[in-house]
Amino acid sequence: MATKVDQHESVAVLTLGDDENRFAPDWLDEVTARLDEIEGTSKGLVTAGIGKFYSNGLDLEWLSANAERGQWYVGAVQRLFARILTFPMPTIAAVNGHAFGAGAMLAIAHDYRVMRSDRGYFCFPEADINIPFTPGMAALIQAKLTPQTAVASMTTARRFAGSDAQAAGLVDDTASEQELVQAAVDRIRPLVGKDPGTLGAIKSTMYASVITALQ
């Protein structure tokens, strides 16, 4: 399924798709276009998947078949992270299912995260699949986590279920599948209305070193 945007008053809910939501180049282009649309019309952003997956991250099959474009591809992925990290409105990831690798990084790039309580894992599997973090990816994760949680998640490839992810600080809250998106909307609705230019500038200053690493 293609991405779609639903409005909950001033909060936009961007559905990433209903499959694994891997970061294929066409998917990256579509999400970028959706973010352009949302930035011009909304005051808050929620992202979510449907069913079993929030996002399984990098499209390794495409990358294997297009190895000569690897540097371009990683750059495009990291530009998406940087954009979400500094998006000029409150943002929250409604992690409806598995968030692995770059999918988990996309969630981490949001201001907040709410995860499904009864299913799905939040995981950085890089240590098990022999793919080291880029400096930008490592900087992004470490900017959002305590040193203890960064070590526990980045060096072990541990799979965190919802309650464990909340206890570790990977996510801010949990909710049932039926209540997840509404819980995310409700969490950021009181925060909407900030001046976009000011909020974007604050985030850009907060995460200046991360943005440099991602670029």
Q: In this predicted model, what pLDDT tens digit does every residue of 29-73 receive, in sequence order?
A: 999 999 999 999 999 999 999 999 999 999 999 988 999 998 999
pLDDT of 152 reads: 96
pLDDT tens digit sequence for 144-199: 999 999 999 999 999 999 999 999 999 999 999 999 999 999 999 999 999 999 99
SS (H, E, C) the chain: CCCEEEEECCEEEEECCCCCCCECHHHHHHHHHHHHHHHHHCCEEEEECECCEEECCECHHHHHHCHHHHHHHHHHHHHHHHHHHCCCCCEEEEECCEEECHHHHHHHHCCEEEEECCCCCEECCHHHHCCCCCHHHHHHHHHHCCHHHHHHHHCCCCEECHHHHHHHCCCCEEECCCCHHHHHHHHHHHHCCCCHHHHHHHHHHHCHHHHHHHC
Reply yes or no on whether the pLDDT at 1 is more than 60.
no
User: 4-214 has which fold?
Assistant: 2-enoyl-CoA Hydratase; Chain A, domain 1 (3.90.226)
State mean pLDDT over 85-114.
Answer: 98
pLDDT digits (tens, 9 = 90+) for 109-144: 999 999 999 999 999 999 999 999 999 999 999 999
Q: Examine the pLDDT at 11 and tell me if it is beyond 80.
A: yes
Distance CA 85, CA 207 (A): 8
Specify which residues 13 forms β-bridges with. Answer: 6, 46
